[in-house]
Amino acid sequence: MSTATQTIDLKLAGDQTPGWRGWLARRTVWDWLYALLATVGAAVALWQWGHAMDGYETAILIGAVPSLIALAWFWRPVQLLTVVVAVLSLLAIALYQVDGRADLARAEQVFLLKYFLSSQSAILWMSVLFFMSTVFYWIGLLAPRGGETAERLGSRIAWVAVTLALAGTMVRWYESHQIGPGIGHIPVSNLYEVFVLFSWLTAAYYLYYEDRYQTRRMGAFAMLIVSAAVGFLLWYTVVREAHQIQPLVPALQSWWMKLHVPANFIGYGTFAIAAMLAFAYLIKQSAGETRWWKLAPLWLLGIVLCFEPLVFRRGAAEQGASYWFIYFGVSALIVGGILAARRRIAERLPSLQVLDDVMYKAIAVGFAFFTIATVLGALWAAEAWGGYWSWDPKETWALIVWLNYAAWLHMRLIKGLRGTVAAWWALVGLGITTFAFLGVNMFLSGLHSYGAL
């Protein structure tokens, strides 16, 4: 067993003291102070903005308090993250105020709002910082000396990006309520908003695994998928002007959306992490291979990954075509560079056992949340369309995604699936998931056509 795996096993074993007394005894003063702050914060939110919430939203807010406290006690970095996000969000809201009323025009007049704290500014900073984080992770992985410093910087930049993404999301939620009656909604309703959600959720889950396994060497691969999502987000912002807040279409005017969409994207994010670590696994495994036909599958994978963005030209007509050709060129260089430097990369990556273990845990978490999301989606469909299941293309592909990962986990737990086959299967799973998420919207029609590109 590798040192990293032993460390995490001991760490987890130490947390399994039986009984509530032992569990509560391990809480620090900061844990209890955070619990108090979270409770007071929720009470203030209900007092200040409760008039804009319906019964379901109020119940969700109240239920979120113990959930957030438990999460922050389990993984303490969440405590600082949520406090900083709350401070930044409240500061932005305060800067919007003029004589006790919000004025959205101040987003272009007040320095901090214009360049940092309006929703669009914060999300643009998120995009830049995720790119920077990815670069520093790769510098750390490839540098002959000083790699740990670069990786540490990449990790800290990723934390700042997650913070700004969350602050931008909270401010966007507030901004939507100031546009007009009935327009305000949680920002998970269109591709722009869910790509922001995907980016910070995926990065946050990677940072959790980074902390638990005490290694930053996986960040170079995990953050590539986040940068790819940010690349799409920037194109969608410029070409589609998707950052503009729009009223919800009737099909999305449901409280189910507030639960279904986040649960779905926890699944998408963890599936993406598993696929990128599967790619790292295959790179490490093939480090000493010189026969071209043995490396052909990886080269083919690289070609597929590079050409995939070009399909977006179908939805973009002539707009943004040059952007995607540049995107293709950069992607080709990245994949070619990874394959060419695979020996150097393999030396620095964690052991195959650690990569395989994180890949499995990511898929297990993603499958649990994707299952919850699918059940919630069926309940939402019953309310909106009168039936739990209608074999709509989106529903059908969601079932395919679920069956794919159910089979993967079955083979893992029952048949002991490991290694190369598991890694390739995880990569295929990412392709299936991507088509369910984007491809269905682009090439098929159905009851979910309101999400079309």
Query: Does residue 47 sit within a domain?
Result: yes
Query: Does residue 5 sit within a domain?
Result: no
> Count of domains in the chain?
1
Alpha-helix runs per DSSP H in 75-146: 77-95, 111-112, 119-142
Query: Does residue 20 sit within a domain?
Result: no
d(CA 106, CA 90): 15
What domain range is 176 assigned to? Answer: 28-244+258-451
Residues pairing with 101 in the sheet? 98
pTM score: 0.89
| Residue 91: predicted pLDDT | 96
Query: Does residue 7 sit within a domain?
Result: no
The pLDDT tens digits for 131-159 are: 999 999 999 999 887 789 999 999 999 99
Query: Does residue 13 sit within a domain?
Result: no
d(CA 137, CA 343): 17
The pLDDT tens digits for 341-361 are: 888 898 999 999 999 999 999
Helix or strand (DSSP H, E) at 101: strand 101-102
| Residue 72: predicted pLDDT | 93
| Residue 315: predicted pLDDT | 47
Query: Does residue 134 sit within a domain?
Result: yes
Q: Tokens for 157? A: 């930049």
Query: Does residue 8 sit within a domain?
Result: no
Query: Does residue 163 sit within a domain?
Result: yes
Which residues of the chain carry a pLDDT beneath 50? 1, 4, 8-17, 313-318
| Residue 191: predicted pLDDT | 86
